[in-house]
């Protein structure tokens, strides 16, 4: 593959966006889906070939996978050494990501052909999907930290546009705004982090940045590690702030609040953006800068605990939600928490790099089974016309393919062997076990919870009560909806056998891994226990879940209300920012600053108003002024004379 054809991978979706965005609505409405899908299919093929060539032909130099700069253009030169470049960097994680992004995006494109059929803004939908795919591919291929920031923002805006796709629904508009603003706030941290790192290393280029900040003897490193602000080194500040941006996009606590609301978007969009690709951008960012993170224990600790806490926190909430997409959203947050803390417990290179590999492995497998879960949920919603569990139940007979594929995905996420999730989760637990016992136990407990809430979801949709949904003609949906489910299910089964350990590692060297069956016994047993518990509670309709909820009382309510995080945010934004900063600022401007200006003008007007009486045009008045004036001057002269 020549370097220019690699550029086609992101540029084809961009071209689709431009064409559909400009002409789609008027001229191409009927073909928009086909155009988008075919262009993405080409993109997918090129990225598969590129990844194949990188992994098996050209990527290894001296037995180690090296980053290769395929293209690089100077885009904005600040100083001779600092510039924003637009480039394409090939390395193992970028290769893995382009495969995941193009593949999942392709599945979603195909699924949407049926799911979104008949929508008034069908072409616009595909234009936005293409914009997103372009931005996400640009993000993962970036060779420059500012470039990644730019695509990061573009990904954010495409997410905004897609969440707000049903723009006449106030809840969708509110959700899209929330998603954008919360991530934007986190991005502010990212931006300042970039400024700090770039100022310390005097470069924005990833390769140079990493080289300079991981060499303990370089003046750049000494400078960054030495300068401190309130006792924390510039390097740590930079990394933590960059991680803040990652936490925003990846919906880590406390920035997770936008993700559940983002489910207002069309379901295939949730599958693509809010499950498989965009939300793992934060994980990707930490992985991209991992060599520097590995050098800074403090920053890595932050990553570990934020990840572990989010994993547990989200899993607890997921057990109490009744909207099936929200359950999946919290489950996504929880799984991303796994990826995060897995990176946090890793070291650079060698055996210590297990966590890094495991994180990337889980990112890879998760993309398949989670997008499968969302697409399956989409098929269900398509049939039932509701997101609520109470409107579902007994659907296994009506939609057999969806049922089987959904079950496979549930088994995969629960970590049952030999499904994909088992292998990646096992590596994560192993990595945590070796370096941080507390995190390990949190993760172990969470994996039990995961199995429980996933099967709660599964039984509530497909078993529980008898179905009362009437066959409304389209049944399970079109072939284009079923096909992606089947393909993704195949991957949800087999992706675990993919040799990620020898391809994607922290130092480019293959990692020896083996499944320790004795070690696996505990997590698998916990997962099975979770499934059994869910089965006893939800397989057939009974009153036990209700009574458990009553027993738990406040704890259940708190989890059901998502631990009041939304209320907290509302309080901060409306009560504090709007009422205590915004309103006073507007008031001061109108009354004090402008008031002073008006006062100035009014006083001038007043003075001249008083003075205008002098110009009355009355002769006698002028004569008397004259007389008084002459008299005054005379007195003055007499006074001065003496």
Partner 1 sequence: MTNLSILVIFPLLTTFAILFCRNVTQIKWTALIGSLLQLTIASLLMYSYYGERAAGNTAQMLFEARYSWYSAMNIEYYVGVDGISVIMIMLTAFVVTCGILISWKIETLTKEFFFLLLLLSVGAYGFFISLDLFTMFFFLELAVIPKFLLIAIWGSGKKEYSAMKLALMLMGGSALVLIGLLATYFNTDMGGGVHTWDLLKIAHMHIPYETQLFIFPFLFVGFGVFTALFPFHTWVPDGHSSAPTAASMFLAGISMKLGGYGCLRVATYLMPEAAQHYSWIIVLLATIAIIYGAFATLMQKDLKYINAYSSVSHCGFILLGIGMLTKTALIGAVMQMVSHGLMTALFFGAIGMIYERTHTRQIKELGGLLKTIPFLSSVFIIAGLCSLGLPGFSGFVSEMVVFVGAWQQPDAFHRIATILAAASIVVTAVYILRAAGSAIMGPIKNEHFNHLKDATWNEKMASVLLIFAILSIGLAPFWLINIISPDTQIIMENIARGAIGN
Footprint on this chain of partner 1 (rule: CB under 8 A): 25, 74-79, 82, 84, 146, 149-151, 153-154, 157, 160, 164, 167-170, 173-174, 176-177, 180-181, 184-185, 188, 191-192, 195, 198-199, 577-578, 581-583, 585-586, 589, 593-594, 596-597, 601
Structure tokens at 534: 């869910």
State the minimum distance, in angstroms, from the CB of residue 375 to partner 1: 27
Hey, what long-range contacts does 168-176 have (CB within 8 A, 24 or more apart)? 169/264, 171/264, 172/264, 172/265, 174/261, 175/258, 175/261, 175/262, 175/263, 175/264, 175/265, 176/262, 176/264, 176/265
**For residue 288, how many other CB atoms are within 10 A of its CB?**
25
**Radius of gyration for the alpha carbons in the chain, expressed in angstroms and rounded:** 31
Mark out the alpha helices in 612-642 (DSSP H runs).
619-641
State the minimum distance, in angstroms, from the CB of residue 139 to partner 1: 11
State the minimum distance, in angstroms, from the CB of residue 309 to partner 1: 24
- Of the pair 205, 427, the CB lying nearest partner 1 is at 205
State the minimum distance, in angstroms, from the CB of residue 235 to partner 1: 15
Which has the closest alpha carbon to 434: 359, 502, 347? Answer: 347
Instruction: Give the pairing of strands 83-90 and 228-229.
Output: unpaired
- Of the pair 69, 154, the CB lying nearest partner 1 is at 154
> E strands, 243-357, where?
none
Which has the closest alpha carbon to 485: 322, 271, 264? Answer: 271
- Of the pair 75, 563, the CB lying nearest partner 1 is at 75
Give dist(CA 591, CA 123) in Å, integer: 49
Distances (CA, A) of 443 to 84, 313, 359, 421, 624: 39, 11, 13, 14, 99
State the minimum distance, in angstroms, from the CB of residue 185 to partner 1: 5
- Of the pair 80, 473, the CB lying nearest partner 1 is at 80
Contact 183, 249 (CB under 8 A): yes
Give dist(CA 179, CA 261) in Å, integer: 8
Give dist(CA 439, CA 433) in Å, integer: 8
- Of the pair 13, 307, the CB lying nearest partner 1 is at 13
- Of the pair 175, 485, the CB lying nearest partner 1 is at 175
- Of the pair 298, 601, the CB lying nearest partner 1 is at 601
Give dist(CA 310, CA 53) in Å, integer: 37
State the minimum distance, in angstroms, from the CB of residue 276 to partner 1: 23
State the minimum distance, in angstroms, from the CB of residue 242 to partner 1: 14
- Of the pair 96, 139, the CB lying nearest partner 1 is at 139
Q: What does 172-212 look like in DSSP terms, one character per residue?
A: HHHHHHHHHHHHHHHHHHHHHHHHHHHHHHT--BHHHHHHH
State the minimum distance, in angstroms, from the CB of residue 25 to partner 1: 7
Distances (CA, A) of 357 to 107, 242, 339: 26, 21, 10
Which has the closest alpha carbon to 108: 87, 73, 136, 66? Answer: 136
Q: What does 433-489 look like in DSSP terms, one character per residue?
A: HHH-HHHHHHHHHHHHHHHHHHHHHHHHHHSSSPP-----SSTT--HHHHHHHHHHH
- Of the pair 83, 478, the CB lying nearest partner 1 is at 83
- Of the pair 73, 641, the CB lying nearest partner 1 is at 73
Strand (E) or helix (H) holding 107: helix 92-115
Structure tokens at 454: 């996933």
Contact 123, 29 (CB under 8 A): yes
State the minimum distance, in angstroms, from the CB of residue 160 to partner 1: 8
Contact 362, 402 (CB under 8 A): no
- Of the pair 47, 142, the CB lying nearest partner 1 is at 142
Instruction: Provide the β-strand partners of residue 89.
Output: 69
State the minimum distance, in angstroms, from the CB of residue 342 to partner 1: 30
Strand (E) or helix (H) holding 222: helix 219-226
State the minimum distance, in angstroms, from the CB of residue 583 to partner 1: 6
Give dist(CA 452, CA 446) in Å, integer: 10
- Of the pair 60, 177, the CB lying nearest partner 1 is at 177
State the minimum distance, in angstroms, from the CB of residue 505 to partner 1: 32
- Of the pair 147, 436, the CB lying nearest partner 1 is at 147
State the minimum distance, in angstroms, from the CB of residue 76 to partner 1: 5
């Amino acid at each position: 593959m020549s370097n220019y054809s690699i550029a086609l991978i992101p540029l084809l979706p961009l071209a689709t966006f431009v064409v559909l965005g400009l002409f789609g609505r008027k001229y191409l409405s009927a073909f928009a889906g086909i155009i988008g899908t075919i262009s993405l299919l080409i993109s997918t093929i090129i990225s598969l070939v590129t990844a194949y060539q990188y992994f098996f032909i050209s990527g290894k130099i001296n037995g180690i996978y090296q980053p290769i700069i395929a293209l690089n253009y100077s885009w904005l030169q600040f100083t001779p050494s600092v510039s924003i470049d637009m480039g394409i960097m090939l390395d193992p994680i970028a290769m893995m990501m382009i495969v995941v992004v193009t593949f999942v995006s392709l599945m979603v494109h195909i699924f949407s052909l049926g799911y979104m059929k008949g929508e008034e803004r069908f072409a616009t939908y595909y234009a936005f999907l293409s914009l997103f795919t372009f931005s996400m591919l640009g993000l993962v291929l970036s060779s420059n930290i500012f470039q990644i920031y730019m695509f990061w923002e573009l990904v954010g805006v495409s997410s905004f546009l897609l969440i707000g796709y049903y723009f006449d629904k106030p809840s969708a508009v509110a959700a899209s705004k929330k998603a954008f603003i919360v991530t934007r706030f986190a991005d502010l941290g990212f931006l300042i982090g970039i400024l700090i790192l770039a100022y310390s290393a005097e470069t924005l280029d990833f390769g140079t940045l990493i080289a300079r900040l991981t060499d303990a003897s370089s003046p750049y490193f000494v400078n960054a590690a030495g300068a401190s602000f309130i006792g924390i080194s510039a390097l740590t500040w930079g990394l933590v702030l960059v991680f803040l941006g990652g936490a925003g996009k990846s919906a880590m606590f406390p920035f997770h609040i936008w993700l559940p609301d983002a489910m207002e978007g069309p379901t295939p969009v949730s599958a693509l953006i809010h499950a498989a690709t965009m939300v793992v951008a934060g994980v990707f960012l930490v992985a991209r800068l991992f060599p520097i993170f590995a050098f800074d224990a403090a920053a890595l600790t932050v990553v570990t605990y934020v990840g572990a806490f989010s994993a547990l926190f989200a899993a607890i909430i997921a057990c109490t939600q009744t909207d099936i997409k929200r359950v999946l959203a919290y489950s996504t947050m929880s799984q991303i928490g796994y990826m995060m803390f897995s990176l946090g417990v890793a070291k650079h290179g060698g055996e210590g790099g297990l966590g890094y590999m495991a994180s990337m492995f889980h990112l890879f497998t998760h993309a398949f089974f989670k997008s499968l879960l969302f697409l399956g949920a989409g098929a269900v919603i398509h049939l039932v016309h509701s997101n609520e569990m109470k409107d579902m139940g007994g659907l296994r007979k009506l939609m057999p393919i969806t049922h089987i594929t959904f079950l496979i995905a549930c088994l995969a996420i629960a970590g049952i062997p030999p499904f994909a999730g088992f292998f990646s989760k096992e590596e994560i637990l192993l990595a945590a076990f070796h370096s941080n016992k507390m995190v390990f136990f949190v993760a172990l407990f969470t994996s039990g919870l995961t199995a429980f809430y996933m099967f709660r979801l599964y039984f509530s949709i497909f078993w529980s009560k008898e179905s009362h949904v009437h066959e409304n003609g389209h049944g399970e949906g079109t072939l284009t909806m079923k096909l992606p489910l089947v393909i993704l299910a195949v991957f949800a089964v087999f992706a675990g056998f993919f040799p990620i350990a020898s391809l994607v590692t922290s130092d480019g060297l293959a990692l020896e891994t083996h499944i320790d069956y004795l070690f696996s016994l505990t997590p698998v047993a916990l997962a099975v226990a979770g499934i059994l518990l869910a089965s006893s509670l939800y397989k057939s309709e009974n009153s036990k879940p209700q009574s458990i909820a009553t027993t738990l009382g406040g704890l259940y309510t708190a989890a059901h209300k998502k631990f009041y995080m939304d209320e907290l945010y509302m309080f901060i934004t409306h009560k504090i920012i709007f009422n205590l900063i915004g309103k006073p600022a507007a008031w001061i401007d109108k009354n004090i600053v402008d008031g002073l200006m008006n006062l100035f003008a009014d006083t001038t007007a007043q003075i001249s108003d008083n003075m205008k009486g002098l110009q009355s045009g009355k002769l006698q008045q002028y004569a008397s002024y004259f007389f008084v004036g002459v008299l005054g001057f005379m007195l003055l002269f007499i006074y001065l004379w003496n």
